[in-house]
Structure 1
Amino acid sequence: MSLPGGYTLRSATAADAAVIAAQRGQMFVDMNELTAQGAEEQLDLWADWLRSAIPQGDYRGVLVVHGAHVVGGVGMMLHPKIPSARDRALFSAYVMNMYVVPQHRRRGLAEALMNEMLVQARSQGLHSVKLHAAPMGRAIYERLGFVESTNPELRLSLEQP
């Protein structure tokens, strides 16, 4: 899909694994959730996982390309869920890894990426999409209809100290 300014959206392939991993790392660095070194330490782990997850359909990605360069991307994983009378779908979508290179921001690329992910989720018959919103992207998500969840979440780490 072509966008204004010479940008194009395309589906991610296993060959894009290293680029997606690097964008994921930079996303966490930008959000101050990882240091650059902390992200670097995980790049191979993420890329190896993506190389198998993409062809298996466990991870679906959309990339934005400008010239010969990938300048942004977003991914989605489907999680099994129990159906209900209100939502009979057997899966919910979790959107992740939203990233646009700083020099290409403020051009509608993140919103175009999210719109494409939502098209893909709807085409799968999904009724539920979740994500963790970084402050930088919150306005885009709210404009697209995302709302704060009312479900409290508790977490427990099972790692031994």
Structure 2
Amino acid sequence: MPSGEFLAWVAEVDSQIVATSGLVFFQRSPYNDNLSGLEAYILNVYTIPMWRRQRIATALLKEIISFLRATEAKRLWLYTTEDGKRIYEKLGFVSTSKEIEMVWY
């Protein structure tokens, strides 16, 4: 999207997209732990079944996290399945009552 509110990452093998992930920025009211109020939400993390368990989604997520650390966003969060939860926890995400998140200050 031209406004930069949605960004997408893809992984390709032999010119075929085998995994994707999207990221949406949104603005919340500032609060003590996030004075900018800028947050990011990960969505549509998907890897084609035959390419799963090869750390492709993990590589995409590491790229997203690296990108976000250079922005004003201070919280990254998402909803996950039980199958996906372990990937996020290995990257430093923490489960809350409703979602899984990563916060830095």
Bucket of the pairwise TM-score, normalised by the shorter protein: 0.7 to 0.9
Instruction: Report sequence identity in percent.
Output: 26
Aligned residue-pair number: 99
Q: State the Cα deviation string for residues 66-107 of structure 1 (Å, max 9, x = none).
A: 011011110100111111232212311100000000111111
- Structure with the higher fraction of residues in helix conformation: 1
Structure 1 partner of 2:13: 66
The gaps in structure 1 that reach 5 residues or longer are 1-53, 153-161
Q: State the Cα deviation string for residues 107-156 of structure 1 (Å, max 9, x = none).
A: 1101001111111211112110110011221101011111111469xxxx
Structure 1's consecutive aligned runs of 4 or more residues displaced over 6 angstroms after TM superposition are none
Q: For 1:67, give the aligned amino acid.
A: D
Among 82, 85, 88, the residue aligned to 1:138: 85
Q: For 1:101, give the aligned amino acid.
A: I
TM-score by length of 1: 0.57
TM-score by length of 2: 0.86
**Higher RCO, 1 vs 2 (CA within 8 Å, ≥6 residues apart):** 2
Larger radius of gyration: 1
Among 84, 87, 107, the residue aligned to 2:34: 87
Equivalent residues of 2:31, 2:37 under 8 A apart = no
Equivalent residues of 2:21, 2:42 under 8 A apart = yes
- Structure with the higher fraction of residues in strand conformation: 2
